[in-house]
A and B are shown apart, each in its own frame.
Chain A
Amino acid sequence: MSILIDENTRLIVQGITGREGTFHTEQMLAYGTKVVAGVTPGKGGQTVFGVPVFNTVKEAIEATDANASVIFVPAKYTAAGVYEAMDAGLKLILTIAEHVPVHDMMGVYHIAKKKGCRVIGPNSFGVISPGKAKSGFMAHKIFTKGSVGIMSRSATNCYETVFMMSNKGIGQSTCVGNGGDMIPGSTFVDLLPLFEADPETKAIVIIGEIGGSEEELAAEYIKEYVKKPVVALIAGKNAPKGRSMGHAGAIVSADGTGSAESKEKKLRDAGVHIADSTANIVEILEKIL
């Protein structure tokens, strides 16, 4: 097992004829991912590395029975791409682009919840289940098959951790790039149940950051429902404080929610192992596995 994607995933690449889309389609195919279709409006009938291209997601699904999509289009078209994929009936949609306007994601998030769709990203490297399939742009060579499930808001911190893990012989079941944006399609809490239920996953790593309350919510969920060991890193303790002019932020986060201290405390109370660096995540994993 693993979560979200595996050898049975039949993937569509939206934006397949673009520079990034084409490059990463080749990479994903080389990794063994079943990329069954591509979509670029106006380019239907072409092929990219043998993958048939369609004008719309609906046509791509009708012809190939695809069950997931990864969107490699620029930020300003990302929301439109997600809506098309959701409307065509897909239940797993991965978004890659950086700089997607947060108001766009606000719409996507609430409609996806209503439709029961799982959206990952944006500002995400995608998802990889090592040895089975990858969907996104991660440098797959550093990942190895194993039993640690990882969720990360940061691509670079995740790479760093995975690289050190693989060097120590600790493999991964699935790595998810939740993405660094203010409104991600899926949060830690959305994915924790999947890792908890996955028989292949023996431990879970959460790579979080200051800001927002996803880590606090994850802590509440873990305390109640997660039996597997969890290791967490909160990056950004010493990051420069954002200039905030209004009072609204202070009113809303008057309880300190969002700070590294608040996140670490709540996670620790839930029995989570707190790492102080990416290297420390690996040291903790070595001990508990």
Chain B
Amino acid sequence: MDLMEYKAKELFDKYEIPTQKGIVIEDVSDLASKALNLTFPLVAKAQVQIGGRGKAGGIKFASNTDELLEVSKSILGMDIKGHIVKKLLIVEKAEVSKELYLSIMLDRLSKKPMIIFSSEGGVDIEEVARLTPEKVMKVSIDPLIGIKDYIIRYLISKSGLNNSLYEQMFDIVKKLYTLFCEYDCMLTEINPLVITAENKILALDGKVSIDDNALSRQPDILEFRDSLTEDELVLEARKFNFLYIPCEVDGNIAVMSNGSGMIMSCIDLISKQGMKVGVGFDLGGGATAERIAEAVRIVLSNKNIKALFITIFGGITRCDEVATGIKMAMEKHEEDKLLVVRVEGTNKEKGLEIINSIKGQIISVDNIREGVSVLAARRELK
């Protein structure tokens, strides 16, 4: 779960990581009451869950009240790569003398948190890492030891920063690591982390990404997730504890299965035939007929989907249960869409009998390859 900048800033503020004073507005009418205590010049930044907002015009400066109203009007409601701007973060502009980069991420290779630090931060950090990798330092944190002073000494010494920044750096890294651990983060990133004209270190922009598996113990983040306007079908599926995975925007095939591994291998096979998958749908384990019926309904209500490939390897899930669920959905909704069904495992024969009794465009196949061939034979799916 990726957090927007304003939410990351809230967390930074909570952990007393120094940031710029700012406000969040959803409507220009909020400006009058909320912006009173801010000192111009200000920066207005679109809050969207996608990168590249600066280039899209989502970040603007204002040096007085009139300008602030004008830029706020122009950014709120803006469409950035399909994301409508609903929130605007307005902060005081900092006097920057140097931009740094600091992040802590969970490194899959070492299976430890890793600090990434560069004294040349800013929007071009990926370029810096590519062209001059020696300017980007990576330091592993032993989770059983945590952040100790030698880590900070290393960062400062190796990057050539002035030693007078030691106290501030130690403070920020330590707080960022505490946030990283307490909020089950996959990533906490500050870019740029700036040194101001007064030699103060400030977090100007932040990204925080939180482990989805830990949301149940992070109630405030769970609330934030549910407040986001997402694909309605994703939310609808979530109600039933299903995972609805939007894939290619112009995909017209949906793949439903009881495990993400099988979904991935089906998408691979379908893509290889030049077709596009629009939706992956993970039922998880132990689906009942009623739940299968809901799942089929949700997927087929996506207007772009022309065909649904259901492939179930029932160990504990019974094939007759799956078939009954499909039948319930098909009879109730009478969708004229192609269903290709492959069931394997417990009570397969009984399941096939039920599938054969379903009216409409439904084809049962014996294995995944056969299912993909059936789809590939349909010209309208290419």
Contacts and interface: CB of A to CB of B under 8 A. Distances in A.
Interface in A113-145: 114, 137-139, 142
Given A103-B214, A157-B262, A277 B368 contact: yes
B236 interface: no
Contact of A248 (B189, B264, B269): B189
Interface stretch (B60-68, B109-117, B374-382): B109-117
Contacts of B142: 110
Contacts of A243: 2, 49-50
A272 to B, nearest CB: 18
Interface in B235-287: 245-248, 257-262, 264-265, 267-272, 277, 280, 284
Given A183-B108, A235-B268, A237-B268, A111 B144 contact: yes
Interface stretch (A44-52, A57-65, A196-204, A249-257): A249-257
Given A213-B109, A239-B267, A102 B259 contact: no
Contacts of A240: 245-248, 280
Contacts of A110: 111-112, 142-144
Contacts of B216: 76
A247 interface: yes
Nearest to B262: A156
Interface in A71-125: 75-76, 98-103, 106-107, 109-111, 114
Contacts of B267: 236, 238-239
A156 B259 contact: yes
Interface in A205-229: 207, 209-213
The SS class assigned to the B binding surface is mixed
Most buried by A among B107, B109, B246: B109
Interface residues of B, number: 70
Interface in B341-363: 344-346
Contacts, number: 183
B371 to A, nearest CB: 12
Contacts of B313: 156, 159-160, 163
Interface residues of A, number: 62
A242 B184 CA distance: 18
Nearest to B107: A252
Contact of A154 (B211, B259, B345): B259
Interface in B27-56: 49-51
Interface in B102-136: 103, 105-109, 111-114, 116, 125-126, 129-130, 136
10 closest cross-chain pairs (CB), A and B: A154-B261, A139-B315, A156-B259, A156-B262, A101-B214, A238-B271, A157-B261, A236-B264, A246-B207, A235-B264
Interface of A: 75-76, 98-103, 106-107, 109-111, 114, 137-139, 142, 152-160, 163-164, 180, 182-183, 207, 209-213, 233, 235-240, 243-252, 254, 257-258, 276-279
Given A111-B144, A251-B116, 9 more contacts: A106-B112, A138-B315, A153-B261, A156-B261, A160-B265, A233-B265, A240-B246, A247-B191, A254-B130
Interface of B: 2, 49-51, 101, 103, 105-109, 111-114, 116, 125-126, 129-130, 136, 138, 142-144, 181, 184, 186-187, 189, 191, 207, 209, 211-214, 216-217, 245-248, 257-262, 264-265, 267-272, 277, 280, 284, 313-316, 344-346, 367-369
